[in-house]
Amino acid sequence: MNSLRSTLLRFRNLFHNSQLDRELHDELSSYLQFHIDDNLHSGMSPTEARRQALLSLGGLEQTKLRVRDQQILPWLDTLRRDAIFGHRQLVKNKIATLAAILSLALAIGACTSAFRLIDALLLRPLPISHPERLYSLGRLGTDFDGKPADFDGWAYPDFQLMRDAARGQATLIAISYTQRVDLTYKSDQDMEKANLQYVSGSMFAAFGLQPSLGRLLTPDDDTIPGAHPVAVISHDYWTGRFAQDPKVLGKSFRIGNDLFQIVGVSQSPFTGTEPGTMTDIFIPTMMHPSAVRKDSTWHRTLAIVPPGVAIEPLRSKLDSITRAFETERSKSWVNESPEEIAQQLKFTLHFNSASSGTSGFQQDNRSSLLALGVLVLLVLLIACANVANLMVAQTSSRAREMALRISIGAGRRHLLQLVLVESAILALLSSATGAIFAWWSAPFVVRMINPSDNPVRLALPADWHVLLFGVSLTVAITCLFGVIPALRASAVQPASALKGGTDGAKDPHSRRRLMYALIAAQVAFCCLVLFVGGLFVATFQHLSNQPTGFSTDRLLVLDIVSHDPVSPVTWLQLADQLRSVPGVERVSVANRALLDHWSNNNSVSVNGSAPSSTLGYFLHVSPGWLETMKIPLLHGRDFLPADTTPGAAIVNQTFAKAFFNGENPVGKSFDELFPYGERAHYQIVGVVRDARYRDIRENTLPTAYLPFLSAEAKPWWSADGATFLVRTTTAHPLALASTLRQAVPQAHPEFRVSRIRTQLEINQSQAIRERFLATLASFFSLVALLLAAVGLYGVLHYSVLQRRREIAIRLAVGAQAPSIARLVTLPIFATVATGAAAGVLAGLLSSRFLTELFYQVRPTDASMLLLPALAMAASAVVAAVPATVRAIRTDPAIILRSE
Amino acid sequence: MSPKKDVWQGTLALMVLKTLESLGPIHGYGIARRIEQTSGDLLSVNYGTLYPALLKLEQEGYISSEWGTSDNNRKARYYKLTRAGRKQLTREALEWTETTAILARFLSSKAQAS
């Protein structure tokens, strides 16, 4: 307590120098006076009294110094002086300082915002009572293509068995994937969207969450299917949608035909378990339409395992329960071959830590964010190397000052501190600028990974995590670019430096060697960034140039929903009505859009053969849909209004190849086999060119287009929604969006537009991650190249300056320009070549870890390897020109006379 | 003149506190003289050692100071004990008494053993 008080006082005294000095002087003279008085008393003469008093007082200046050391904090005082001096040094070289600060700030900002994203998405624990005890259950098995895959979806009846078996050891919770639903608090015309999760009634208590208002869901809310129309909303939604109105309790909303009542608001900041998506509304699992179905895996299973419970015995118990469940279920899969069934039963249940939550967004972006993080870290290293070179050059020009300081008694430690303080000021200024940049750029990057229709929302708080990261980054870079120049400065040899011969280093070439080593490292990092960036750009280009087999030109995709399920005929009537809207060229209907991350597949049987192991993919379309999508017909005909499902089918080339050995299948027939034994018989009436169905990265799937109309009363797909493909006459199809939004309910009051997208947007969303990586990677490649070029320029400039006498002598004795240019540039080009080779090699090694982010690019392609090397070489040449010109233009007379 | 000992580190603060307790508010020169007198002129206290100690005590809040005038009309800075200083004095004095007592016992027992 007292020492703290004293430290604070001494700290304050740092800023009251002159007043302290005055007081000290006054007190000193009063002390002296008393002493003289005493001496006079004891009978000395006035001069003798004064002399004796001064003698016994001791050295006046030493006393002042000792008192001063007690008045203030000496180390802080030197630090303050060093800071002032460092600041002056930095201001003296305004442009160099500004360039250093800006380049560092950009790199620090990029690193910090990458860290913010990685932290928010992957590291930050969920705001629940014991996030470290949370696990997500998954099944490791193989997908339909035989590739290993991890499934985290579960069927509720299976979950119930596991939950009961685990009771006493762990708490199992079912939480559905977040759905973006249409709901309304008033009429159909006021539909709005919200994120909804079906959760076990036990979830809130298990997570240790408290209500902000009302009550939370309990296990009693989750017992009978369809009997608990209650909802809890998140604090975030309560704030955003209701402005924290306490009257929200008791309000009800409608989803489809189901009415739910809000009973409570959960505590902030909990917004569900899926980073990237914030859940607005929680309703009990029992309200899910598939709550009792054994064949629908619609939720994740989370487990809270208390400390002391061994995971492995629990895992194997749950594994055998699920295996028994699936084996029992597989007995009804009459339309699948025994091999297929065996393959589906081949899985292992496993526990994944879910302390930071678990979401698809997390899985999709994990590796790309980490890759990005490494890229920006490399850019930071390049920037640090630049600043280190700058500082080395500057300390060399200050060698005489350093030598002087040593000669008059400064310790080497103090010189070290002097240069380090200067570095720290630079780092601090850059970090502050970088923080502003990061504050702006992290949300900007989130917007980039965003599909426009379902905004990703990531909590990005600037808390102690980020602060700690920022501070450690600042300290780390201060050391990175400060320590080497500081050590060099403090190692100055006063005698030789003051004589003016060399710059004071023991070995005159060692400084240049150090700068070249830094340049080589910089070039290597830069090539690595360029190489990886090039691969990302190539991946994106390959993906976006993938032929889709259909046209997106002026094509709008309308998802239209109806209050109650309606017959397909009514949908077709709506299409007729929309055709009369001005600006509309064509309207067709399908049950879904192509490439919309969706598929409907089943086994196929030709002429009563066994179920195929290759699956057929199906889409219900209206007559004229093929023409709207501009998918050309190769054989046969399009659907007629009389064609129905089951009945007629149009298949693509891949389908003909897979099931009819590539022969013209028109006139032949096949059966679509459903898992529980139902069959639908189709006769092929046409063959169309291949078009992409689900994913742009996979091979074209065997696709059969089926008529939109059903032969029976029961439609073949869920009939409360359909997708309308509208080709507009205007170049900007979205201009028609609001007109169509109004036209749909006018045509039929049951119908409402749920969302409008362009087909182009849907196609682009396939490569959203690649576009994000390509954009950021090319930006950082440019920055890296620019920084490396600036670094090269700086070092060349410095070395020409340092060797100006040598160059002048060479010129004076008749050396020609080319030989001077060679002299200046050869070592730097050798350095660049070494660095580039190292960088590309490192790139080749590291690309192995990134293969999942690449599409159709081989890192070993000559073009991929040459491009970064060429870009580097080109910028090296550009950077070398000014210094070389300067060297050649050296006037020997002037230089030699001045020395 | 016999050589005087310098005050050893750590004890000067205690002596200053004790002096202020017995004399009341007094200036720096007075403190130095008083300590020398009390020690029977065995110790010498000069400005260079006294003032850093006074400053430290003041920063720690054990003493306070203000400018005043002396009997013979000289301007001087007067120091006095604060409440915290009084407590500190009691505590330190006790500690010293204990320490010296232990040391005394230790030294005398050693003499018996040999």
Number of domains chain A contains: 4
Strand partners, A138: A350
The answer to whether A30 contacts B52, with C-beta atoms less than 8 Å apart, is no
Residues A351 and A369 in one domain: no
Predicted pLDDT at A27: 82
Q: Could you give the CA distance from residue A329 to residue A323 in angstroms, rounded to a whole number?
A: 10
Terminus-to-terminus CA distance in chain A, angstroms?
61
Least confident stretch, A56-65, A103-112, B89-98? A56-65
CB spacing of B29 vs A30 below 8 angstroms: yes
Contact between chains at A2 and B60 (C-beta distance less than 8 A):
yes
Instruction: Give a yes or no: residue A897 inside a domain.
Output: no
Name the domain boundary from A453, A475, A508. A508
Does residue A45 surpass a pLDDT of 90? no
**Domain region containing A92:** 75-124+362-508
Concatenated DSSP letters of B67-97 = EEE-TTS-EEEEEEE-HHHHHHHHHHHHHHH
A850-897 pLDDT tens trace: 888 888 888 778 788 888 888 888 998 888 888 888 888 888 888 777
pLDDT band for A506, please (50, 70, 90 cuts). Answer: low
CATH number at residue B90: 1.10.10.10
> What pLDDT does residue A502 have?
52
Nearest Cα of chain A lies from the Cα of B44 at a distance, in angstroms, of: 9
Question: Which comes out higher in pLDDT, residue A640 or A142?
Answer: A640
Q: Chain B residues with CB inside 8 Å of A67's CB?
A: 51-52, 55
Lowest mean pLDDT among A6-10, A223-227, A747-751: A6-10
Q: In this predicted structure, which of A544-548, A675-679, A780-784 has the lowest mean pLDDT?
A: A675-679
With a cut of 80, say whether residue A4 has pLDDT above it: no
Burial of A322 (0-12, 13-18, 19+ CB in 10 A): buried
- The yes-or-no verdict on residue A211 having pLDDT over 80 is yes
Predicted pLDDT of residue A719: 63
Q: Is A870 within the bounds of a domain?
A: no
Nearest to A691, CA basis, from A671, A680, A705: A705
Shared-domain flag, residues A490 and A418: yes
Give the SS3 label for residue B114.
Answer: coil
pTM above 0.80, yes or no: no
Q: Does B110 touch chain A (CB under 8 A)?
A: no
Domain contains A375: yes
Six-digit token string for A62: 């030493």
A447 shares a domain with A309: no
| Contact check, Cβ <8 Å, B60/A28 | no
Chain B residues touching A41 at Cβ < 8 A:
none
Give the pLDDT score at B68: 86
Residues in A lying within 8 Å of B, measured between beta carbons: 2-3, 5-6, 9-10, 26-28, 30-31, 33-35, 37-38, 56-59, 62-63, 66-67, 69-71
Average pLDDT, integer, range A746-772: 85
Give the mean pLDDT of A59-67: 74
Q: Which residues does chain A have within 8 Å of residue B75's beta carbon, measured at their own beta carbons?
A: 26, 30
Residue A611 DSSP label: P
**What is the nearest CA distance from B70 to chain A, expressed in angstroms?**
10
pLDDT digits (tens, 9 = 90+) for A334-354: 667 777 778 778 889 999 999
Within a domain: residue A854? no
Of A3, A33, A57, the CB nearest to B47: A57
Give the pLDDT of residue B1: 39
pLDDT at position A451, please? 62
- Does the pLDDT at position A134 exceed 70? yes
* CA–CA distance, A382 with A107 (Å, rounded to integer): 9
**pLDDT of B55-92, one tens digit each?**
888 888 899 988 888 877 888 889 999 999 999 999 98
Q: Is B46 exposed, middle or buried (0-12, 13-18, 19+ CB in 10 A)?
A: middle
| Statement to judge: residues A572 and A711 lie in one domain | yes
Size of interface A-B (CB pairs under 8 A): 68
> What percent of chain A is modeled with pLDDT above 70?
95
Contact across the interface for B46 and A70, Cβ inside 8 Å: no
Q: Give the residue carrying structure tokens 């990134």.
A: A850
Longest dimension (CA), chain B: 60
Closest CA to A594 of A733, A725, A709: A725
The string of pLDDT tens digits covering residues A290-327 is 888 888 889 999 999 999 899 999 999 999 999 999 88
Residue A417 C-alpha, separation from nearest chain B C-alpha, in angstroms: 27
> Is residue A57 domain-shared with residue A81, that is, in the same domain?
no
Output the pLDDT for position A811: 87
Closest residue, chain A, to B70 (C-alpha): A34
The Cα of B100 is separated from the nearest Cα of chain A by a number of Å equal to 26
**Of A417, A359, A373, nearest in space to A79 by CA:** A417
**Would the ipTM clear 0.85, i.e. be above it?**
no
How far is Cα A854 from Cα A542, in angstroms, rounded to an integer? 10
Q: List, for residues A418-457, the tens digit of each pLDDT value.
A: 888 888 888 888 888 888 888 888 777 777 776 655 667 7
Residues A360-378, mean pLDDT to the nearest whole number? 86
Of A27, A56, A67, the CB nearest to B77: A27
Q: Are B59 and A27 inside 8 Å of each other by CB?
A: no
pLDDT at A489 > cutoff 70: yes
Q: How many helices and strands in chain A, by DSSP H and E?
A: 27, 23
| Chain A residues whose beta carbon lies within 8 Å of the beta carbon of residue B60 | 2-3, 5-6
- From chain B residues 59-88, the ones with a CB under 8 A of any chain A CB are 59-62, 70, 72, 74-77, 84
pLDDT in tens, A690-705: 999 988 888 889 999 9
Burial string for A672-685 (b: 16+ CB within 10 Å, else e) reads bbebeeeebebebb
| Min Cα–Cα distance to chain B from A65, Å | 9
- Domain around B58: 5-113
Where a domain ends, among A53, A72, A91?
Answer: A72
Looking at the fold, whether A59 and A88 belong to one and the same domain comes out as no
Considering the domain architecture, whether residues A403 and A417 belong to the same structural domain is answered as yes
Total structural domains within chain B: 1
Q: How far apart are CA A670 and CA A604, in angstroms?
A: 7
Among A35, A53, A72, the domain-final residue is A72
CB spacing of A70 vs B55 below 8 angstroms: yes
Nearest-Cα distance to chain B for A47, in Å, is 20
Q: How confident is the model at residue B4 (pLDDT cuts 50, 70, 90)?
A: low
β-sheet bridge partners, residue A602: A616
For A198, the token pair is 């079906």
Instruction: With cut-offs at 50, 70 and 90, classify the pLDDT of residue A208.
Output: very high
Same domain, A95 and A64: no
Among residues of chain B, what percentage have pLDDT more than 70?
88
pLDDT at position B2, please? 44
Q: pLDDT tier at B111 (50, 70, 90 boundaries)?
A: low
Instruction: Determine whether the interchain pair A26/B52 forms a contact, defined as Cβ–Cβ distance below 8 Å.
Output: no
Residue A570: CB partners within 8 Å, gap ≥ 6? Answer: A562, A748
Gap between the terminal Cα atoms of chain B:
36
Domain shared by A646 and A731, yes or no: yes
Residue of chain B minimizing CA distance to A70 = B52
Residues A704 and A570 in one domain: yes
Residues A195 and A237 in one domain: yes
Q: Do residue A242 and residue A369 come from a single domain?
A: no
| Phi-psi map region of A624: left, alpha, beta (phi>0 left; psi -120 to 50 alpha) | left
Look at residue A499 in the predicted model and tell me its pLDDT.
Answer: 67
**Band of residue A252 on the pLDDT scale cut at 50, 70, 90:** very high
Instruction: Say what the pLDDT of residue A321 is.
Output: 92
The alpha-carbon gap from A9 to the nearest alpha carbon of chain B, in Å, equals 7
- B110 has a pLDDT exceeding 70: no
- CA distances for A674 relative to A604, A605, A616, A681, A880, angstroms: 9, 11, 11, 11, 70
